[in-house]
Chains A and B, each alone.
Chain A
């Protein structure tokens, strides 16, 4: 039996820095990233803040941004605007998930549905969200409505189209195996099509998180009195670029954080998708 263990694929040869990085433990990798961040911040602080090579109004140094972050926390504008944004984002994302998953499954399962819905979905997906922004104001007014609309329209299609693609690329050989053992049509969908679509669902969700955040900020940038986008614009318009950068940083953290949550959920519900790190 031991002979069987020697049959795995050969490791690809690597040398130098790549090998050193690949060999690091999880903690070691985190340390490398931490050092990288500190170095970038330090250079940035020196170039802008200490040597004054760039006008800090255009590109404030890290310490000024930290100060700006302290200001928007202290005056309550961050909490108020973040709450509005989070509400719009979560509402829009939930709608996109609720609509996108079943429609994507239908598109993947039925060629007629795919032929009808597909071209429309791809057209809307291919249009930059910012193009819908003026229309969204006209349709939904100046409150949270247009923000939710842009989040939905940004997040819906990556979810829908990824799921449809996942259904369609289900391995014919797995379907054949299910049929050989007498699997019914329902068995094929429940036991083969759906599970093999799961990795595509999560890929779609990760794209959707990023695009939804872009849609949200775009919707809030003009004609909106609240939300993170409004906070960024107000701060920039009053030359408080440190506060604007602090607000942008919060949006980035939100986007990265939500992507991380999606990945955590994926590892929990679909452990087989976890690729071996090379």
Chain B
């Protein structure tokens, strides 16, 4: 498969931070014995400081690609390089924000935020306390340090998930539909906040979503997936000025153009998926 990133005008001199090369992942379905191909022949380069959104219908394998980059799933063929080295497992250079928050219900906000540092054996000295506190302030949860996750709204729980990822100081932030489970109003507020936060920290982000608006608002580039099997359909540069906000972007002609284009692309996908699913 030829790389659809040919039109990409990023300076080619710097090596990509994440390099997905001809990645194929298939699973054996234990119950039926059949082999299911989640993604096939995916090529994708992400450069340092880039914010890449991955857009596609559910079941198109976009989460699988993220899991391979995170080191949670091994490639069936092909490889993923991070900073030039093949990924063999999770590492401190990558952190994940999960769709279902994945907070430990028995831990307070503070103890959840420190969880990543704790797993990475980085709770030595006193500096970590200040860093945890800073991360909590950064996501706007000051005063909730001693609350349990179930006492917080979905949006606040995801803020905890975000703080937990940020405090681990990864170079790459992997976000798996982080706003998929929060309500619409909170989602819009948090999109803007994530935009600001990432701009301030300069992290490299792979952000999975099935929301067209989210993909455009947040991404420098949008990777559109198709399903059956999961593969990259096209890669589009948003070319929208930053800082962006929900309001400023929505009236931009470029936004409308992108939205129409992506809408057509996804609708064709969804129609095909429905036909394939029904056969």
> Residues of A with Cβ closer than 8 Å to B?
1, 3-5, 7-8, 171, 173-174, 176-183, 187, 191-192, 195-196, 198, 270-273, 276
Q: Which residues of B contact A198 (CB under 8 A)?
A: 106
Q: In the complex, A191→B118 CA distance in Å?
A: 10
Q: Which residues of A contact B119 (CB under 8 A)?
A: 178, 181-183, 187, 191
Could you tell me the distance in whole angstroms from the C-beta of B238 to the nearest C-beta in chain A?
Answer: 27
Whether B91 and A182, one on each chain, are in contact in the complex, defined by CB atoms closer than 8 angstroms, is: yes
Q: In the complex, A164→B155 CA distance in Å?
A: 33
Whether B106 and A182, one on each chain, are in contact in the complex, defined by CB atoms closer than 8 angstroms, is: no
Given A177-B96, A182-B119, A192-B155 contact (CB < 8 Å): no
> Residues of B with Cβ closer than 8 Å to A?
70-72, 90-92, 94-96, 98, 100, 102, 104-107, 115-116, 118-120, 140, 148, 150, 153-156, 168, 182-183, 185-186, 189
Q: Which residues of B contact A270 (CB under 8 A)?
A: 106
Could you tell me the distance in whole angstroms from the C-beta of B118 to the nearest C-beta in chain A?
Answer: 7
B98, B118, B154: the one within 8 Å of A173 (CB) = B98
Q: In the complex, A187→B90 CA distance in Å?
A: 15
Whether A180 and B148, one on each chain, are in contact in the complex, defined by CB atoms closer than 8 angstroms, is: no
Whether B148 and A272, one on each chain, are in contact in the complex, defined by CB atoms closer than 8 angstroms, is: yes
Q: Which residues of B contact A171 (CB under 8 A)?
A: 102
Could you tell me the distance in whole angstroms from the C-beta of B164 to the nearest C-beta in chain A?
Answer: 8
Q: In the complex, A239→B182 CA distance in Å?
A: 67
Most buried by B among A1, A5, A182, A273: A182
Most buried by B among A179, A181, A198, A270: A181
Could you list 18 examples of A-B contacts with CB < 8 Å? Answer: A1-B140, A3-B189, A4-B155, A4-B156, A4-B186, A5-B153, A7-B153, A8-B153, A177-B115, A178-B119, A180-B90, A180-B94, A181-B118, A191-B115, A195-B104, A272-B105, A272-B107, A273-B106
CB-CB nearest in chain B for A273: B106
A7, A181, A272, A276: the one within 8 Å of B106 (CB) = A272
Could you tell me the distance in whole angstroms from the C-beta of B135 to the nearest C-beta in chain A?
Answer: 14
Q: In the complex, A8→B182 CA distance in Å?
A: 11
Whether B100 and A173, one on each chain, are in contact in the complex, defined by CB atoms closer than 8 angstroms, is: yes
Q: Which residues of B contact A3 (CB under 8 A)?
A: 185-186, 189
Whether B150 and A272, one on each chain, are in contact in the complex, defined by CB atoms closer than 8 angstroms, is: yes
Whether B70 and A7, one on each chain, are in contact in the complex, defined by CB atoms closer than 8 angstroms, is: no
Q: Which residues of A contact B168 (CB under 8 A)?
A: 181
CB-CB nearest in chain A for B70: A180
A8, A181, A195: the one within 8 Å of B120 (CB) = A181
Q: In the complex, A181→B89 CA distance in Å?
A: 10
CB-CB nearest in chain B for A175: B102
Q: In the complex, A220→B120 CA distance in Å?
A: 55
Whether A196 and B106, one on each chain, are in contact in the complex, defined by CB atoms closer than 8 angstroms, is: yes
List of 5 A-B pairs having minimum Cβ-Cβ separation, nearest first: A181-B119, A177-B102, A183-B119, A181-B116, A7-B153
Whether A7 and B185, one on each chain, are in contact in the complex, defined by CB atoms closer than 8 angstroms, is: yes
Q: Which residues of B contact A191 (CB under 8 A)?
A: 104, 115, 118-119
Could you tell me the distance in whole angstroms from the C-beta of B216 to the nearest C-beta in chain A?
Answer: 23
Q: In the complex, A176→B118 CA distance in Å?
A: 15
Whether B72 and A179, one on each chain, are in contact in the complex, defined by CB atoms closer than 8 angstroms, is: yes
Q: In the complex, A180→B91 CA distance in Å?
A: 7
A7, A192, A276: the one within 8 Å of B186 (CB) = A7
Whether A195 and B106, one on each chain, are in contact in the complex, defined by CB atoms closer than 8 angstroms, is: yes
Q: In the complex, A116→B185 CA distance in Å?
A: 52
Q: Which residues of A contact B94 (CB under 8 A)?
A: 180
A5, A8, A180: the one within 8 Å of B96 (CB) = A180
CB-CB nearest in chain A for B116: A181
Q: In the complex, A271→B120 CA distance in Å?
A: 27
Whether B72 and A176, one on each chain, are in contact in the complex, defined by CB atoms closer than 8 angstroms, is: yes
Whether A180 and B120, one on each chain, are in contact in the complex, defined by CB atoms closer than 8 angstroms, is: no
Q: In the complex, A41→B227 CA distance in Å?
A: 70
Q: In the complex, A192→B103 CA distance in Å?
A: 11
Could you tell me the distance in whole angstroms from the C-beta of A185 to the nearest C-beta in chain B?
Answer: 12
Q: Which residues of A contact B100 (CB under 8 A)?
A: 173
Given A181-B115, A182-B92, A176-B106 contact (CB < 8 Å): no
A7, A174, A181, A196: the one within 8 Å of B155 (CB) = A7
Whether B189 and A174, one on each chain, are in contact in the complex, defined by CB atoms closer than 8 angstroms, is: no
A8, A174, A195, A196: the one within 8 Å of B102 (CB) = A174
Q: Which residues of B contact A192 (CB under 8 A)?
A: 104
